[in-house]
Amino acid sequence: MNAGGTPFWLALAVSLLLAGVATWSFLDSGQVETAPEPMANTMPVSPEEDAAPDAEPTADPAADEAPAAADVTFSFAVEVARFEDGTRLEQDDLHRVTCRGVDGAIRWEIGMEDTLLGAHQLDANDDGTIEILLVDRAHAVGLDAGGRPIPGFSVRPSSDITAHAVVDYDGDGRERYLFGLADGRILNYRRLGEATPGWRHVSKDKAIQALAHLRAGRKDYICSVDEKGVVMLLKRSGQRRVRTPAQLHATSGKRPVAFQVKSDIGSSLLVARNAEGAVETRRFDDGIPLPAGDAAVQLLEAVEARWARVDVE
């Protein structure tokens, strides 16, 4: 079908040709507009704003250091006493005493003020139950079987305790607790910490280093040795019973002594080391120092070994 004839198609072809020429001319001129480049930001920027948003702040080396370890105190316990029933006592370097049974289980614990000088099991009030007496330089304290302090059973002298002995004069279980002090006094207590009536000891002003109860024949004696080397033989009242020429050299600190008791006090022997460390014996009746025999040496060494731990009964 002829829609407009030849003139129409001729006009359409000319129009398309002119449009193509115009388009080619426009592109070839290079005048295509592009978006202008953004202007640089000339405003000052703070370091915080300039940092990347997710950047972590610089770590402070001091803040990263691990905190210093807290001071830790370690204590080490050693066995200081063992009783006949197998019960043992341990004391650590903080002076805490732990009681352990035969099976090693802890029975009780108590703090003391110094290294133990002695530990004793006894029936203090004659009621059939066991009490425990602990002694250090500052005081003596009585405990029940569960390790609890017994009210009133405590001795705290005004001077340090430098020697002690638990003695039974007649073997009837009625013990006396003797405490030799740094100022030369000797104190005497009984039962649950009461002062023994009739005790009248007079101090010689020198620290007491050793105390012992001796029975020779039908008489008994309390023997004391002080740091000046003075040896005294006392009655149960604390007064002198008999003079003895037996004397030792002067020395401070501990002085272990042992005794070989005979049928009478005069022939009985005092065993101790001289100033050079050699073991000697002295009879109480003449005081002449002689080299100790093997039996006397063994006696003294046994005392020294016990003192290296603690005096136990």
Report pLDDT digits (tens) over 221-279: 999 999 999 999 999 999 999 999 999 999 999 899 999 999 999 999 999 999 999 99
Contacting residues for 262 by C-beta, under 8 A, at least 6 apart: 216, 268, 269
The length of the chain, given as a count of residues: 313
Looking at residue 51, the DSSP 8-state letter turns out to be S
CA distances for 77 relative to 97, 111, 306, angstroms: 8, 13, 17
pLDDT at residue 260, rounded to an integer: 97
Could you give the CA distance from residue 114 to residue 135 in angstroms, rounded to a whole number? Answer: 9
Looking at residue 276, the DSSP 8-state letter turns out to be T
The overall pTM is greater than 0.85: no
Q: Give residue limits of the domains in the chain.
A: 75-156
Under 8 Å between Cβ of 249 and 241? no
pLDDT at residue 31, rounded to an integer: 45
Q: Domain 75-156 carries which CATH code? A: 2.40.10.480
pLDDT at residue 50, rounded to an integer: 42
Under 8 Å between Cβ of 158 and 182? no
The two three-digit tokens of residue 43, written as one number: 């405003």
pLDDT at residue 77, rounded to an integer: 86
pLDDT at residue 306, rounded to an integer: 84
Under 8 Å between Cβ of 91 and 97? yes
Q: List the chain residues with pLDDT less than 50.
A: 1-3, 21, 24, 26-27, 29-57, 59, 61-63
Radius of gyration of the chain (CA): 49
